[in-house]
């Protein structure tokens, strides 16, 4: 037998509930509570490689805003830019220093981590951001082209991941390890074949590290920028333009208008916002992921 409620009864019940809700000022118990950093978390430290300019610089500055003391790393040729970033971070009231090291050299990365721990304290977050790109047709690549691409983009990320992980395991408090992938880690671009391959490797390495580091409460994730207005993409635009007879700036404009759903080239801060999340307690249940920040080129 179907159960029926008389419309008048339903109206009376609804009216009574509405009256109760008007007179109470209590906060509903189901409102979500977001993770708030503890005092210990507000005094975190981070290393950001390749952070004298571009995306790395934006990440270093954002982490400083988030309460991190930051070790700014780059190669010696970019020392002046790194020192400028350090000055900006100190201007925010955070501790910072620069350390020159080539991430493709394991001993230099080990020195980088040791210096950061000595200067700033226990290492909480490693951002393996440093990378290189090259525009070249597949059949024109030399052995040295391939070797150098993988030395920096793959060996460099491994050196940072492994050295940071060992330090975090020794500390015993977990940590966050992040690496720079790219949209080409999901869909290669023509004339960027070896760069694409190196970023696929970063994505796979991130997943492997995530599995093995989970027992130590270390999360390992990667971020995958799209077309960003940085010196790297200026170079890609220029080289692709030479090959296709396009003026400087035309290629990146064409890509932005035709490929990006949101219709604009990314800025470094688009990426640093995501890295901020991946470095925060809000991402504690996320590991082994490569997050795409490209304005809608690749859909995962």
Each residue's pLDDT tens digit, 44-103: 999 999 999 999 999 999 999 999 999 999 999 999 999 999 999 999 999 999 999 999
Helix (H, G, I), strand (E, B), or coil: what is residue 60?
helix
pLDDT over 60 at 8, yes or no: no
Residue appearing with tokens 């404009």: 253
The dihedral of CA 145, 150, 153, 156: what is its sign? negative
- Strand ranges across the sheet with 218-225: 96-100, 69-74, 45-48, 125-128, 175-180, 218-225, 290-293
Q: Which residues are catalytic?
A: 195
Percent of the chain's residues with pLDDT above 70: 84
pLDDT over 90 at 29, yes or no: no
Looking at per-residue pLDDT, the higher value among 39 and 102 belongs to 102
Residue 179's DSSP bridge partners are 128, 222
Q: Which domains, ranges and CATH numbers included, belong to the chain?
A: 38-226+267-293 (3.40.50.720)
Q: Say what the pLDDT of residue 263 is.
A: 87
pLDDT over 50 at 262, yes or no: yes
The average pLDDT across 171-197 equals 95
- Using CA atoms, how far apart are residues 231 and 299, in angstroms rounded to an integer? 25
- CA proximity to 201, closest of 249, 158, 264: 158
Q: Say what the pLDDT of residue 42 is.
A: 62
- Using CA atoms, how far apart are residues 35 and 259, in angstroms rounded to an integer? 35
The average pLDDT across 196-225 equals 98
Q: Say what the pLDDT of residue 169 is.
A: 98
Q: Say what the pLDDT of residue 229 is.
A: 73
Angle between helices 268-279 and 54-65 (to 10 degrees): 50
Q: What is the mean pLDDT of the chain?
A: 87
pLDDT band at 11, cuts 50/70/90?
very low
pLDDT band at 39, cuts 50/70/90?
low
Q: Say what the pLDDT of residue 38 is.
A: 53
**Exposed/middle/buried for 263, CB within 10 Å: 0-12, 13-18, 19+?**
exposed
- Using CA atoms, how far apart are residues 19 and 38, in angstroms rounded to an integer? 40
Residue 194's DSSP bridge partners are none
- Using CA atoms, how far apart are residues 98 and 87, in angstroms rounded to an integer? 10
Helix (H, G, I), strand (E, B), or coil: what is residue 175?
strand
Minimum mean pLDDT range among 50-64, 220-234, 260-274: 220-234
Percent of the chain's residues with pLDDT above 90: 71
pTM of the model: 0.83
pLDDT band at 20, cuts 50/70/90?
very low
Looking at per-residue pLDDT, the higher value among 4 and 125 belongs to 125
Rg (CA), the chain: 24
pLDDT over 70 at 21, yes or no: no
Structure tokens at 212: 């093995």
Angle between helices 193-213 and 143-150 (to 10 degrees): 30
Looking at per-residue pLDDT, the higher value among 299 and 11 belongs to 299
The average pLDDT across 8-33 equals 43
Angle between helices 156-171 and 193-213 (to 10 degrees): 20
- Using CA atoms, how far apart are residues 280 and 272, in angstroms rounded to an integer? 12
Annotate 215-238 with b (16+ C-beta within 10 A) or e (fewer).
Answer: eeebbbbbbbbbbbbbebbeebbb
Phi, psi of 127 (to 5 degrees): -115, 105
Q: How far is CA 46 from CA 13, 66, 144, 272, in A?
A: 56, 11, 32, 14
- Using CA atoms, how far apart are residues 223 and 129, in angstroms rounded to an integer? 9
The average pLDDT across 1-25 equals 44
The dihedral of CA 259, 204, 201, 219: what is its sign? positive
Q: Say what the pLDDT of residue 28 is.
A: 43
């Amino acid at each position: 037998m179907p159960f029926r409620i008389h419309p008048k009864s339903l109206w009376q019940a609804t009216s009574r509930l509405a009256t109760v809700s008007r007179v109470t000022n209590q906060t509903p118990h189901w409102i979500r509570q977001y993770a708030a950093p503890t005092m210990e978390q507000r005094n975190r430290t981070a290393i950001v490689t390749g952070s004298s300019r571009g995306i790395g610089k934006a990440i270093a500055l954002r982490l400083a805003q988030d309460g991190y003391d930051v070790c700014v790393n780059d190669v010696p040729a970019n020392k002046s830019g790194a020192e400028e970033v350090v000055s900006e971070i100190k201007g925010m009231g955070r501790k910072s220093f620069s350390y020159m090291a080539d991430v493709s050299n394991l001993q230099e990365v080990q020195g980088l981590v040791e210096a950061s721990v000595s200067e700033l304290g226990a290492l909480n977050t490693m951002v393996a951001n440093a990378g290189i790109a090259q525009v070249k047709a597949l059949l024109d690549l030399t052995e040295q082209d391939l070797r150098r691409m993988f030395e920096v983009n793959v060996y460099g990320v491994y050196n940072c991941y492994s050295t940071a992980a060992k330090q975090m395991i020794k500390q015993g408090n977990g940590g966050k390890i992040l690496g720079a992938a790219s949209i080409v880690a999901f869909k290669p671009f023509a004339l960027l074949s070896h760069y694409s391959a190196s970023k696929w490797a970063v994505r796979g390495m991130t997943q492997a590290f995530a599995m093995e580091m989970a027992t130590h409460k270390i999360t390992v994730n990667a971020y995958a920028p799209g077309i960003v207005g940085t010196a790297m993409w200026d170079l890609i635009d220029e080289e692709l333009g030479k090959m296709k007879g396009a003026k400087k700036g035309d290629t990146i404009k064409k890509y932005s208008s035709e490929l990006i759903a949101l219709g604009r080239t990314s800025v470094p801060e688009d990426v640093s916002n995501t890295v901020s999340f991946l470095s925060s307690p809000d991402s504690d249940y996320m590991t082994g992921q490569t997050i795409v920040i490209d304005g809608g080129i690749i859909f995962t």
